[in-house]
Amino acid sequence: MVPLTGTSASDGREFRNGLILAVEEINERGGIVGRPVEPVFQDTGSQSAEAVVRAARTLITTHGVSAIINGYNIGPQNSEYEPIADAGIIYIHHNTLLQHHDTVASDPERYFGCFMADPAEYWYGQGFIKFLSWLRDSGRWRPRNRKIAIISGPKPYSIVIANAMNACAKQFGWSTDPAPIILRNLQPDWQNILTRVREADPAVLAFTHFHAGDLAKFHLEFMKNPLPVLLYLQYGALHKSFSNIVGTRARGTIVGTVIGLLRDDLGRSFAQKYRQRFGQSSTPEVGCQPYVALHHYAIAAGVAGAVGNPGDFGTNRRIARALLDIPYRSVAGTIRFHPKWQAAIPYPDATNDPSMGLPHLFYQLRDPEDAPALIAPEPFSDSQFELPPWLGAAISEGLK
Amino acid sequence: MTAAGQSLPEQAFAGLQLPLSYWSADLRLLAFNPAFSACFDCFKGGIPLGITRAKFIDEVERAGLLVQVEAAPSDDGQTDVQPKLYFSDGSVYQLQSWQGPDGNWTALCVDITAAHRNERALRKAKDAATAADQSKSRFLRAANHDLRQPLAALKILIYSCIAAQTDDDRQQSLHAMEVSVAIMEDLLGALLNIGQLDAGKIRPSIQTFQISTVLDRLKVQFDYQAREKGLKFHIVPSTEAVTSDRILLERIISNFVSNAIRYTDVGRVVVGCRRVGGHLRIHVIDTGPGIPEEFHQEIFEEFFRISKHQDKRRHSLGLGLNISQRLANILGHPITLKSMVDRGSNFAIEVPLGNIWHSTIGEPEINEQIGGEFAGLACLLIEDDPHVRAALSSLLQRWGISVDTLANLNDIPASVAALERQPDIIVTDYRLNRELLGTEIVNEVNEILEKPCPALVITADTAPQLIESIRNQGYPVLIKPVGPPGLRVMMHNLLFEPEAIAELQ
**CB-CB contact of A209 with A155 (8 Å):** yes
Grade residue B143 by pLDDT with cuts at 50, 70 and 90: low
Question: Which residue, A371, A360, A377, A317, is CA-closest to A135?
Answer: A377
Q: What is the dihedral of CA B236, B239, B240, B243, to 10 degrees?
A: 100
The reply to whether B3-111 and B368-504 are identical in fold is no
Handedness of CA B210, B216, B221, B222 (dihedral sign): positive
* Whole-number pLDDT of residue A234: 95
> Considering CB atoms only, which of A133, A163, A172 is closest to B373?
A163
Grade residue B90 by pLDDT with cuts at 50, 70 and 90: confident
Comparing B499 with B438, which gets the higher pLDDT?
B438
Count how many residues are written for chain A. Answer: 400
* Whole-number pLDDT of residue A342: 97
> Considering CB atoms only, which of A102, A164, A182 is closest to B496?
A182
Q: Give yes or no for A49 touching B (CB within 8 A).
A: yes
The maximal CA–CA distance of chain A, rounded, in angstroms, is 73
Q: Give yes or no for A133 touching B (CB within 8 A).
A: yes
CATH of domain B3-111: 3.30.450
Handedness of CA B243, B245, B251, B255 (dihedral sign): negative
3-state class (DSSP) for residue A39: coil
Minimum distance, in Å, between the CA of residue B220 and any CA atom of chain A: 15
Is the pLDDT score of B144 beyond 80? Answer: no
Q: Which residues of B touch A123 (CB under 8 A)?
A: 366
Q: What are phi and psi of B14, to 5 degrees?
A: -75, -35
Q: CA triplet A248, A250, A252: central angle to 5 degrees?
A: 110
Is the pLDDT score of A241 beyond 90? Answer: no
Minimum distance, in Å, between the CA of residue A2 and any CA atom of chain B: 20
Q: Which residues of A touch B400 (CB under 8 A)?
A: none
Comparing B161 with A308, which gets the higher pLDDT?
A308
Cα nearest neighbour of B370 on chain A: A164
Count how many residues are written for chain B. Answer: 505
What's the rounded mean pLDDT across residues B471-484? 90
Percent of chain A scoring above 90 in pLDDT: 85
Question: Which residue, B3, B39, B43, B40, is CA-closest to B18?
Answer: B39
Cis peptide before A379 (omega within 30 of 0): yes
Q: Round the average pLDDT of chain B to a whole number and report it.
A: 86
* Whole-number pLDDT of residue A201: 96
How far is Cα A276 from Cα A292, in angstroms, rounded to an integer?
18
Amino acid symbol at B472: N
Q: Which residues of A touch B361 (CB under 8 A)?
A: 126, 168, 171
Q: Which residues of B touch A79 (CB under 8 A)?
A: 483, 485-486, 489
Cα nearest neighbour of A125 on chain B: B371
The reported pTM is 0.78
DSSP B479-499: ESSPPHHHHHHHHHHHHH-GG
Quick one: B342 exposed, middle or buried, by C-beta within 10 A (0-12, 13-18, 19+)? exposed
CB neighbours (10 Å) of residue B397?
A: 13
* Whole-number pLDDT of residue B13: 78
Grade residue B138 by pLDDT with cuts at 50, 70 and 90: low
Minimum distance, in Å, between the CA of residue B359 and any CA atom of chain A: 8
Residue numbers of A between 326 and 345 with CB closer than 8 Å to B: 340-341
Amino acid symbol at A99: Q
3-state class (DSSP) for residue B80: coil
What's the rounded mean pLDDT across residues A42-71? 94
B367 with A98: Cβ contact below 8 A: yes
A172 with B497: Cβ contact below 8 A: no
How far is Cα B165 from Cα A103, in angstroms, rounded to an integer?
64
Is the pLDDT score of B268 beyond 60? Answer: yes
* Whole-number pLDDT of residue B4: 56
A99 with B213: Cβ contact below 8 A: no
Q: CA triplet B22, B26, B27: central angle to 5 degrees?
A: 40
Is the pLDDT score of B2 beyond 50? Answer: no
Digit-coded pLDDT (tens) for A317-354: 999 999 999 999 999 999 999 999 999 999 999 999 99
Is the pLDDT score of B302 beyond 50? Answer: yes
Grade residue A121 by pLDDT with cuts at 50, 70 and 90: very high
Grade residue A395 by pLDDT with cuts at 50, 70 and 90: low
Digit-coded pLDDT (tens) for B216-260: 888 888 888 888 889 999 999 999 999 999 888 998 998 899 899
Taking the CA of residue B349 as centre, how many other CA atoms within 13 Å lie in the half-sphere pointing to its CB? Answer: 27
* Whole-number pLDDT of residue B3: 47
Q: Give yes or no for A160 touching B (CB within 8 A).
A: yes
Q: CA triplet B249, B250, B254: central angle to 5 degrees?
A: 120
Domains and CATH numbers, chain A: 9-120+262-358 (3.40.50.2300), 122-257+370-399 (3.40.50.2300)
Is the pLDDT score of B112 beyond 80? Answer: yes
* Whole-number pLDDT of residue A91: 98
What's the rounded mean pLDDT across residues A298-309? 97
A99 with B488: Cβ contact below 8 A: yes
How far is Cα A247 from Cα A220, in angstroms, rounded to an integer?
10
Q: Which residues of A touch B399 (CB under 8 A)?
A: 102
**CB-CB contact of A95 with A116 (8 Å):** yes
Question: Which residue, A179, A178, A169, is CA-closest to A133?
Answer: A169
Is the pLDDT score of B49 beyond 60? Answer: yes
Cα nearest neighbour of B364 on chain A: A350
Is the pLDDT score of A267 beyond 90? Answer: yes
A168 with B240: Cβ contact below 8 A: no
Quick one: B439 exposed, middle or buried, by C-beta within 10 A (0-12, 13-18, 19+)? middle
Is the pLDDT score of B309 beyond 60? Answer: no
Question: Which residue, A381, A390, A389, is CA-closest to A362?
Answer: A381
Grade residue A397 by pLDDT with cuts at 50, 70 and 90: low
Domain spans, chain B: 3-111, 131-198, 207-358, 368-504
* Whole-number pLDDT of residue B442: 95
B371 with A156: Cβ contact below 8 A: no
**CB-CB contact of A142 with A375 (8 Å):** no
Is the pLDDT score of B190 beyond 80? Answer: no
What's the rounded mean pLDDT across residues A394-399? 53
Cis peptide before A178 (omega within 30 of 0): yes
A99 with B358: Cβ contact below 8 A: no
Give the CA radius of gyration of chain B: 40
Q: Which residues of B touch A103 (CB under 8 A)?
A: 484
Q: CA triplet B73, B78, B84: central angle to 5 degrees?
A: 40
Quick one: B497 exposed, middle or buried, by C-beta within 10 A (0-12, 13-18, 19+)? buried
B371 with A352: Cβ contact below 8 A: no
Quick one: B335 exposed, middle or buried, by C-beta within 10 A (0-12, 13-18, 19+)? middle
Is the pLDDT score of B265 beyond 80? Answer: yes
> Considering CB atoms only, which of B212, B358, B375 is closest to A348?
B358
Reading phi first (left if > 0) and then psi (alpha if -120 to 50, else beta), residue A31 is in left
Question: Which residue, A176, A166, A127, is CA-closest to B376?
Answer: A166
Digit-coded pLDDT (tens) for B453-476: 999 999 998 889 999 999 999 899
Q: Which residues of A touch B492 (CB under 8 A)?
A: 77, 156
**CB-CB contact of A87 with A111 (8 Å):** no
Q: Give yes or no for A143 touching B (CB within 8 A).
A: no
3-state class (DSSP) for residue A56: helix
Digit-coded pLDDT (tens) for B324-367: 998 899 999 999 999 999 999 999 999 999 999 999 887 667 88
Q: How many CB pairs under 8 A join A and B?
A: 107
Question: Which residue, A281, A283, A251, is CA-closest to A367?
Answer: A251
* B12 contacts: CB under 8 Å, gap ≥ 6: none
The number of angstroms, rounded, from the C-alpha of B36 to the middle of its chain's C-alpha atoms is 54
Q: Which residues of B touch A133 (CB under 8 A)?
A: 239, 356
3-state class (DSSP) for residue A167: helix
Digit-coded pLDDT (tens) for A64-98: 999 999 999 988 888 899 999 999 999 999 999 99
ipTM: 0.85
**CB-CB contact of B499 with A184 (8 Å):** yes
A134 with B361: Cβ contact below 8 A: no
Percent of chain B scoring above 70 in pLDDT: 90
- Report the topology of domain B207-358: Heat Shock Protein 90 (3.30.565)
Q: Which residues of A touch B486 (CB under 8 A)?
A: 79
How far is Cα A95 from Cα A120, in angstroms, rounded to an integer?
8
The number of angstroms, rounded, from the C-alpha of B25 to the middle of its chain's C-alpha atoms is 64
| Distance separating the N- and C-terminal Cα atoms of chain B | 104
Is the pLDDT score of B42 beyond 90? Answer: no
* A205 contacts: CB under 8 Å, gap ≥ 6: A148, A149, A150, A151, A197, A222, A227, A229, A230, A231, A232
Q: Which residues of A touch B363 (CB under 8 A)?
A: none
The highest-level CATH class for domain B368-504 is: alpha beta
How far is Cα B457 from Cα B475, in angstroms, rounded to an integer?
6
A184 with B499: Cβ contact below 8 A: yes
Digit-coded pLDDT (tens) for A190-232: 999 999 999 999 999 999 999 899 999 999 999 999 999 999 9
Amino acid symbol at A130: K
The residues pairing with A233 across neighbouring beta strands, listed in sequence order, are A207, A255
